[in-house]
């Protein structure tokens, strides 16, 4: 077997292609199902689940128009960057029973950085569009990004810190957090106080997801009725299709991150199965968990409230959610030192 820099190129390449395909397919399917959920909650029928596939197919068949005022290279590069970086995130997140393709080459901190890249690509594309709507949208996207980073970081770090406090090696590795190999998760480590902390952090992450994905109430950068689509207003054809795919992949990545952090259980931990059956069962269960996360943190939130103003986004994410996250962190700390949560 040929190894380059300690990596098996066939495995990594094959894995990357597989994850990319999975990410795009699952992204579109989940977006279709999500639209069905939202429609159902609004007493509508909604489009068929295959609708996102049709949308992408139609967009791909259309011309991509570059506006006169745009900076063409940046304008055309942004969608590719957004899609590519969204797929890269997936490479670091465990998918059901499968370890991350690039396990051991990056950890949670890297994932947090990577999560900002698709958003930055959107911002670059928006500024490069040369339209006032897109410019305002880009400014708002940047502000939104800065707002949700704090609660997201708190949630992620609190979990990893608690695992470290429990004496678990390599606590920032997502494979460790998800307990893919060991079966040890955050829930089996913490005591009662820590469970309160975990629930608070779960709430924080649930609310960060719509901001990360620019959905109502945090869709201020796109805000159809205000900015006619904001960042994406000048995009069309293939470029828009790429952004659309990136949005789908990002949805899966965010949900998979939430699953890895807070809902890491696998079926094979509880039921004895043959290795292949276990992989399949775990993967199916993983998809179900993703669906559940999407239902609560995307669908319910987006149909249940009005869009925030950009100033609200800042005050709510820095103030309320940041505070809630810190409270969760305090509970985790208390749990580790006083509550007598099990140190394994």
Partner 1 sequence: MSFLPAIPEVLRQFFKRPATNLFPAKYLPSSVTKYLKSVQEGNAAINPPVETPPNFRGKILYDRDTCIGCKLCIRVCPANAIEFLPDTKKVRIFVTQCIFCSQCNDACPVDALHMSDEFLLADEDRYSENMIVE
Partner 2 sequence: MSENKKIGSTYSIPIGPVHPALKEPILFTFKMNGELVEEVDFAPGECHRGIEWMGMRRNPVQIVHLTDRICGICGVSHSLAFARAVEQIAEIEVPERAHYVRTIIAEYERLQSHLLWAGVAAHELGFDTLFFLAWRVREESMDVIEYLTGNRVNYGIVQVGGVRRDFTEDQFPRIEASLKYYEDVAGKLLNLFLEDRTIQMRCKNTGVMSEKEALELCTVGPTARASGLAMDVRYDSPYAAYGDLDFTPVLPHQYLGLTNGDVYDRIVVRLLEVVQSVDLIRQCLENMPSGEVLWEKKYPKILAACKKATGEAVGRIEAPRGECLHYVRMDGNTNPQCWKVKASTYSNQMSWLNMLKGEQIADIPIVVASIDPCMSCTDRVAVVHGERTDILTKADLHRLSVEKTRRLAQWS
Question: What, of partner 2, partner 1, none, does residue 133 touch, CB below 5 to 8 Å by kind?
Answer: partner 2
5 counts as binding partner 1 under rule CB under 8 A: no
The Cα 177–Cα 263 span in angstroms is 10
Q: Tell me which stretch binds partner 2 (CB under 8 A): 63-71, 121-129, 191-199, 224-232.
A: 224-232
Name the residue nearer to partner 1 (CB basis): 22 or 295.
295
Q: In whole angstroms, how far apart are CA 51 and each of 20, 58, 237, 307?
A: 20, 10, 16, 25
Name the residue nearer to partner 2 (CB basis): 85 or 131.
131
Name the residue nearer to partner 1 (CB basis): 72 or 304.
304
301 counts as binding partner 2 under rule CB under 8 A: no
3-state DSSP assignment of residue 221: coil
Question: What, of partner 1, partner 2, none, does residue 300 touch, CB below 5 to 8 Å by kind?
Answer: partner 1
- Cβ(254)–Cβ(211) below 8 Å: no
Site map 31..70 versus partner 1, x via CB under 8 A: ------x-xxxxxxx-xx----------------------
Binding partner 2 (rule: CB under 8 A), the pick from 1, 225, 275, 276 is 225
The Cα 25–Cα 341 span in angstroms is 41
153 counts as binding partner 1 under rule CB under 8 A: no
Name the residue nearer to partner 2 (CB basis): 225 or 276.
225
Name the residue nearer to partner 1 (CB basis): 36 or 140.
36
Note the maximum CA span of the chain.
Answer: 64
Name the residue nearer to partner 2 (CB basis): 178 or 216.
216
- Region 95-134 residues binding partner 2, contact defined as CB under 8 A: 132-133
Number of Cβ atoms within 10 Å of the Cβ of 240? 21
- Say if residue 201 is preceded by a cis peptide, omega within 30 of 0: no
Which residues make beta-bridge pairs with 98? 95
List Cβ neighbours of 138 (8 Å cut-off, separation of 6 or more).
122, 123, 124, 126, 127, 221, 230, 231
DSSP state of 338: T
Q: Tell me which stretch binds partner 1 (CB under 8 A): 71-79, 259-267, 298-306, 309-317.
A: 298-306
Which residues make beta-bridge pairs with 95? 98
Applying CB under 8 A, the residues found at the interface with partner 2 are 41-44, 132-133, 136, 216-217, 219-220, 223-228, 303-312
């Amino acid at each position: 077997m040929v190894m380059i820099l300690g990596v098996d190129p066939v495995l990594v390449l094959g894995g990357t292609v597989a994850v990319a395909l999975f990410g795009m397919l699952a992204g579109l399917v989940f977006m279709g199902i999500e639209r069905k959920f939202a429609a159902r909650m609004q007493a509508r029928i909604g489009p068929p689940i295959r609708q996102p596939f049709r949308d992408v197919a139609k967009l791909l068949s259309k011309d991509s128009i570059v506006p006169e005022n745009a900076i063409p290279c940046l304008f055309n590069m942004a969608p590719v960057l957004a899609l590519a970086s969204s797929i890269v995130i997936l490479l670091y997140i465990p998918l059901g029973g499968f370890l991350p393709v690039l396990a051991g080459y990056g950890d949670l901190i890297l994932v947090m950085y990577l999560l900002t890249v698709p958003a930055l690509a959107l911002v670059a594309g928006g500024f490069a569009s040369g339209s006032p709507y897109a410019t305002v949208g880009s400014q708002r996207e940047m502000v939104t990004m800065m707002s949700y980073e704090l609660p997201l970081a708190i949630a992620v770090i609190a979990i990893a810190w608690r695992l470290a406090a429990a004496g678990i090696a390599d606590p920032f590795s997502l494979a460790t957090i998800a307990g893919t190999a060991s079966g040890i998760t955050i829930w089996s480590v913490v005591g009662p106080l820590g469970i309160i902390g975990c629930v608070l952090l779960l709430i924080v992450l649930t609310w960060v997801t719509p901001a990360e994905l620019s959905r109502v109430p945090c869709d201020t950068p796109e805000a159809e009725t205000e900015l006619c689509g904001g960042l994406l207003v000048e995009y069309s054809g293939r470029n828009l299709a790429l952004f659309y795919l990136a949005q789908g992949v990002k949805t899966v990545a965010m949900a998979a991150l939430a699953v890895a952090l807070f809902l890491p259980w696998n079926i094979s931990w509880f039921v004895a199965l043959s290795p292949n059956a276990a992989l399949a069962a775990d993967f199916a269960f993983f998809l179900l968990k993703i669906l559940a996360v999407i239902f609560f943190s995307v669908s319910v939130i987006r149909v249940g409230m009005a869009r925030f103003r950009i100033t609200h986004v800042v005050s709510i994410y820095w103030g309320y959610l940041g505070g809630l996250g810190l409270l969760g962190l305090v509970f985790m700390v208390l749990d580790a030192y006083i509550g007598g949560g099990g140190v394994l």
